[in-house]
């Protein structure tokens, strides 16, 4: 099958796949531990001491690849989001800001995490990300597409796309921009993107759907149909074999884009 067919298959069966993930003993244990303990955390220090909570939250916010960057995570959470010049607010990758805002250690000592609705939202996001991770084993392009689909409404400027490897891969592939484009100065990249697409279109579901259709076709053209698999997704344990994920953050790009602020 093609990437487009695979992606649509996952979307059609999304609820069933997520329910299968939730029913796994290991996932149930992780969720139960998170639900039972996150409300007791009142500071960044306490949070970072509990490795299970730390990794659960980072995975839920698509920041699992940054788990070893404890200094950066600590800084993001301790400074919070109230100050427009805080680390989270200055970073082009908005996932850091989202995490700091939801956890709220700097603003209210984690009071947000006593709200069952907030806790449930983090759990739901953890499950959604888990599904995306597993789709990569069958077809890396499907994970890219699902991730982009979920994140697109939160994209406010092209710098956010450039700071995120996965978002950049989808957009550059769909627009026919070669991988070497990412080596250009960021403002030159922005100018190229602006000529090809209106950033506001990423908040329109129909435009996003068309972009993903084009991405799927271009991806298969560049990589061959062998990139696709009929088994979508495996609904097995998340791969922990240490290989690089398609969803990751390029620290050098992220830090380069920490300019005062673009919102």
- CB 238 within 8 Å of CB 55: no
Report how far residue 21's alpha carbon sits from residue 212's, in angstroms, rounded to the nearest whole number.
25
> 32 lies in which domain range?
3-238+245-256
Query: Does residue 172 belong to any structural domain of this protein?
Result: yes
Q: Which residue has the tokens 């390029």?
A: 250
Query: Does residue 261 belong to any structural domain of this protein?
Result: no
Q: Of all residues in the chain, what percent carry a pLDDT higher than 70? A: 85
Q: What is the pLDDT of residue 225?
A: 61
Res 246 pLDDT > 90? no
Give the contacts of 144 (CB within 8 A, at least 6 positions apart): 166, 169, 170, 215, 219, 246, 247
20: domain CATH number is 1.10.3700.10
Q: What is the pLDDT of residue 1?
A: 75
Q: In angstroms, how far is CA 24 from the centroid of its own chain?
A: 22
Query: Does residue 262 belong to any structural domain of this protein?
Result: no
Report how far residue 130's alpha carbon sits from residue 22's, in angstroms, rounded to the nearest whole number.
10
Q: Three-class SS of residue 124?
A: helix
Q: What is the pLDDT of residue 92?
A: 81
Count CB neighbours of 67 within 10 A: 13
Query: Does residue 104 belong to any structural domain of this protein?
Result: yes
Q: Token digits for 29?
A: 């244990």
Tens digits of residue pLDDT in 83-119: 999 999 999 888 999 999 999 999 999 999 999 999 9
Report how far residue 114's alpha carbon sits from residue 247's, in angstroms, rounded to the nearest whole number.
30
Query: Does residue 56 belong to any structural domain of this protein?
Result: yes
Residue 256: pLDDT band with limits 50, 70, 90 = very low
- Total number of domains in the chain: 1
Query: Does residue 263 belong to any structural domain of this protein?
Result: no
Query: Does residue 8 belong to any structural domain of this protein?
Result: yes
Query: Does residue 136 belong to any structural domain of this protein?
Result: yes
Name the DSSP letter for residue 2. -
């Amino acid at each position: 099958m093609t990437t487009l067919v695979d992606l649509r298959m996952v979307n059609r069966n999304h609820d069933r796949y997520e329910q299968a993930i939730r029913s796994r003993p290991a996932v149930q244990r992780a969720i139960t531990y998170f639900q039972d303990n996150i409300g007791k955390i009142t500071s960044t220090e306490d949070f970072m001491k509990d490795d299970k909570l730390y990794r659960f939250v980072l995975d839920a916010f698509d920041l699992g690849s940054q788990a070893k960057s404890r200094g950066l995570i600590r800084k993001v959470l301790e400074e919070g989001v109230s100050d427009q010049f805080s680390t989270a607010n200055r970073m082009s990758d908005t996932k850091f800001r989202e995490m700091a805002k939801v956890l709220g250690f700097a603003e209210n000592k984690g009071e947000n995490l006593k709200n069952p609705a907030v806790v449930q939202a983090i759990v739901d996001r953890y499950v959604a990300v888990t599904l995306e991770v597993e789709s990569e084993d069958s077809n890396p392009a499907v994970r890219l597409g699902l991730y982009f689909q979920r994140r697109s409404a939160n994209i406010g400027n092209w710098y956010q796309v450039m700071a995120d490897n996965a978002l950049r891969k989808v957009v550059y592939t769909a627009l026919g921009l070669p991988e070497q484009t990412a080596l250009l100065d960021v403002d030159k990249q922005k100018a190229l993107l602006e000529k090809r697409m209106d950033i506001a279109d990423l908040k329109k579901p129909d435009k996003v759907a068309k972009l993903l259709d084009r991405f799927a076709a271009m991806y298969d053209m560049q990589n061959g149909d062998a990139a696709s698999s009929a088994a979508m997704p495996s609904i097995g344990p998340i791969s922990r074999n240490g290989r690089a994920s398609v969803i990751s953050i390029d620290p050098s790009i992220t830090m380069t884009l920490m300019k005062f602020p673009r919102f």
